[in-house]
């Protein structure tokens, strides 16, 4: 019941978050459009009043006449409309969602157990939560300092944009090291979103208040307040599209499980900002198709990088061959350059992103080799043993191969018996039980109509693995999720590389 209530709260908060963000971003886009679309006022009277630009619009069956004053209108009305709650609501609901989903389950969602940075991989739950908060805070502090130092008088905005762009590449990279893939995308988006809200909270609104107060006291407002408000608002505008792209990429595991997830993020950020630039210019009357073309090209590059043919093959079956075994006669490139440290290597095998030689796993020949090896119907037993062997051999600390393979075989059999599935007497059939038993053992505690894993009230992502048919139907997704290291989530159920190899070698 408790997890159901949490789920429900999550659902409702998400609704609020999305609605508030739509309202905020919509308003932000509207004002940038308005600002860029202003024309010189036609009437002399307006110009005399101090109107600097105006826009006529028709909307919802009515005609609207917006006017912008160059400095201040003669008399400021008392009921000025202020825009800030949309921004604050978006940030607060987003942060609440983050607490509810990520910070209550840091082991599942936050910790990157496969990080290159050993300290990050070994964070405890509360340390990971603290790291997340510090990450958001430092993101804001660094961005704010860049703005203050590079462009204190809002005169070097071009240089500042470049600095912020470089900073975001750094944020993307560091986030993939500190946090699990999905959280990394979220945190990078959240750094930008936090800067947006903090811009409103610390600069735009206080600046506007100072301006209003000055006008009310009959003083000249400080022009820097206006300029700074504009500068930060322009940043916000370029952040909107990337932030939304990063937030929704959360739902697409192929984006954030890739070894170069940070490159994908950087491409998304620049693509979003570039596409936004097209609309900013369009509202001021310039049509520059090169911007959306460049933006779409960046997204295509990102998708090319994550596309299945470019994605790393399951590494386990082709890694490390100590002696010739079924289908593999030559030592692979990886073997020659293998470090002696067994642990280091096994960490690499789990997560493509940890690999220092990304191309090795991608070699088409390596991929073919492995499928040829595992497809060979004449030697089903050897095939599995070989795959398992190969994986095992990578771990220098492990016992000699034959023993290990036999061990695993025993283990798999034991699992099959345990799981209540009757192994059929033929070796070929028995062979096929392995993956099902493993899914049952490592996945079904979460992925079930009735999850037994605390904190889960329904099968995550809608995938329940309660019976063979369900497992078989989801085979491709299971293999992808296991090969990328994304599943089991946070490796909560402790799936070993050998077991991953069995899933990877699973054929019809
Ligand atoms: C600790 C709980 C947990 C365990 C154990 C677990 N999963 Fe998941 N799984 C999740 C959650 C939560 C999601 C949804 C995450 C998301 O939306 O990205 C998910 C999503 C998935 C998805 C969908 C990913 C996508 O493409 O969107 C697949 C496939 C999957 N899991 C397979 C597996 C397999 C196979 C195993 C066992 C090897 C496994 N999971 C073990 C919690 C778990």
DSSP summary character for residue 204: I
pLDDT above 80: residue 156: yes
CA–centroid distance, residue 481 to ligand 1 (Å): 7
What is the residue-wise DSSP string for 259-286?
TTHHHHHHHHHHHHHHHHHHHHHHHTT-
Q: Residue 190's closest CA among 99, 254, 82, 289?
A: 99
The mean pLDDT value for 34-59 works out to: 88
Mutate which of 106, 489, 493, 496 for ligand 1 pocket (most atoms within 8 A of beta carbon): 489
Distance CA 487, CA 131 (A): 23
| Number of the ligand 1 atom closest to the C-alpha atom of 477 | 29
pLDDT 10s digits, 291-346 = 999 999 999 999 998 887 644 444 444 444 444 444 444 444 444 443 443 343 34
Distance CA 228, CA 211 (A): 12
pLDDT in the model for residue 432: 57
Whether 462 contacts 477, CB under 8 Å: no
- Ligand 1: lining residues by beta carbon, under 6 Å: 108, 182, 253, 439, 442-443, 445-447, 453, 460-461, 463, 477-478, 481-482, 487-489, 492-493, 495
Mutate which of 3, 185, 447, 462 for ligand 1 pocket (most atoms within 8 A of beta carbon): 447
The pLDDT mean for the chain works out to 78
Q: Residue 485's closest CA among 387, 301, 349?
A: 349
pLDDT 10s digits, 157-207 = 889 999 999 999 999 999 999 998 889 999 999 999 999 999 999 999 999
CA–centroid distance, residue 499 to ligand 1 (Å): 16
pLDDT 10s digits, 396-440 = 334 344 444 444 445 544 444 444 444 444 444 444 578 888 998
pLDDT band for position 363 (cuts 50, 70, 90): very low
Distance CA 469, CA 109 (A): 28
CA–centroid distance, residue 457 to ligand 1 (Å): 14
Domain ranges of the chain: 2-36+71-306, 316-504
Of 148-162, 217-231, 256-270, 448-462, least confident by mean pLDDT is 448-462
Ligand 1, atom 33: closest residue by C-alpha: 487
Mutate which of 441, 470, 481 for ligand 1 pocket (most atoms within 8 A of beta carbon): 481
CA–centroid distance, residue 311 to ligand 1 (Å): 19
What is the residue-wise DSSP string for 436-464?
HHHHHHHTTTTSSSS--STT-SS-GGG--
The mean pLDDT value for 131-144 works out to: 96
pLDDT above 80: residue 488: yes
pLDDT above 80: residue 154: yes
| Number of the ligand 1 atom closest to the C-alpha atom of 108 | 1
């Amino acid at each position: 019941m408790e997890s159901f209530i949490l789920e429900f709260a999550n659902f409702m908060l998400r609704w609020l978050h999305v609605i508030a963000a739509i309202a905020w971003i919509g308003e932000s886009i509207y004002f940038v459009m308005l600002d860029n679309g202003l024309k010189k006022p036609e009437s002399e009277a307006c110009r005399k009043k101090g109107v600097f630009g105006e826009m006529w619009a028709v909307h919802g069956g009515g005609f609207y006449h917006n006017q912008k004053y160059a400095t201040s209108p003669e008399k400021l009305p008392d009921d000025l409309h202020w825009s800030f709650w949309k921004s604050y609501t978006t940030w607060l609901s987003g942060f609440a969602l983050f607490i509810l989903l990520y910070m209550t389950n840091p082991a599942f969602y936050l910790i990157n157990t496969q990080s290159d940075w050993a300290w990050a991989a070994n964070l405890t739950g509360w340390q990971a939560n603290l790291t997340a908060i510090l990450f958001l805070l430092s993101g804001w502090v660094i961005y704010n300092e860049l703005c203050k130092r590079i462009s204190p008088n809002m005169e070097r905005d071009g240089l500042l944009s470049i600095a912020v762009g470089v900073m975001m590449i750094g944020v993307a990279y560091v986030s993939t090291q500190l946090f699990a893939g999905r959280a990394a995308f979220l945190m990078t988006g959240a750094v930008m979103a936090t800067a947006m809200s903090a811009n409103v909270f610390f600069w735009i609104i206080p600046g506007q208040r100072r301006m209003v107060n000055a006008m009310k006291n009959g003083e000249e407002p400080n022009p820097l307040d206006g300029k700074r408000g504009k500068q930060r608002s322009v940043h916000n505008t370029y952040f909107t599209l990337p932030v939304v792209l990063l937030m929704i990429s959360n739902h697409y595991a192929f984006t954030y499980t890739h070894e170069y997830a940070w490159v994908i993020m950087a491409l998304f950020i620049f693509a979003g900002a570039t596409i936004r630039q097209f609309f900013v210019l369009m509202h001021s009357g310039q049509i520059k198709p090169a911007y959306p073309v460049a933006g779409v090209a960046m997204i295509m590059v990102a998708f090319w990088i994550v596309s299945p043919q470019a994605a790393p093959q399951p590494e386990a079956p082709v890694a490390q061959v100590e002696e010739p075994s079924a289908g593999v006669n030559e030592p692979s490139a990886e073997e020659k350059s293998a470090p002696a440290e067994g642990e280091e290597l096994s960490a690499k095998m789990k997560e493509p992103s940890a690999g220092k030689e990304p191309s090795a796993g991608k070699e088409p020949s390596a991929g073919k080799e492995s499928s040829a090896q595992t497809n060979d119907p004449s030697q089903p037993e050897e095939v599995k043993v070989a795959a398992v062997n190969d994986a095992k051999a990578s771990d220098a600390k492990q016992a000699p191969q034959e023993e290990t393979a036999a061990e695993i075989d025993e283990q798999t059999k034991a699992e099959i018996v345990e799981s209540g599935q009757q192994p059929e007497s033929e070796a070929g059939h028995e062979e096929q039980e392995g993956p099902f038993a493993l899914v049952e053992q490592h996945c079904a505690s979460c992925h079930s109509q009735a999850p037994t894993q605390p904190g889960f009230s329904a099968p995550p992502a809608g995938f329940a693995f309660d019976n063979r048919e369900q497992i078989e139907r989801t085979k491709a997704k299971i293999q992808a999720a296991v090969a990328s290291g994304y599943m089991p989530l946070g490796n909560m159920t402790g799936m070993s590389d050998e077991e991953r190899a069995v899933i990877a070698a699973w054929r019809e």
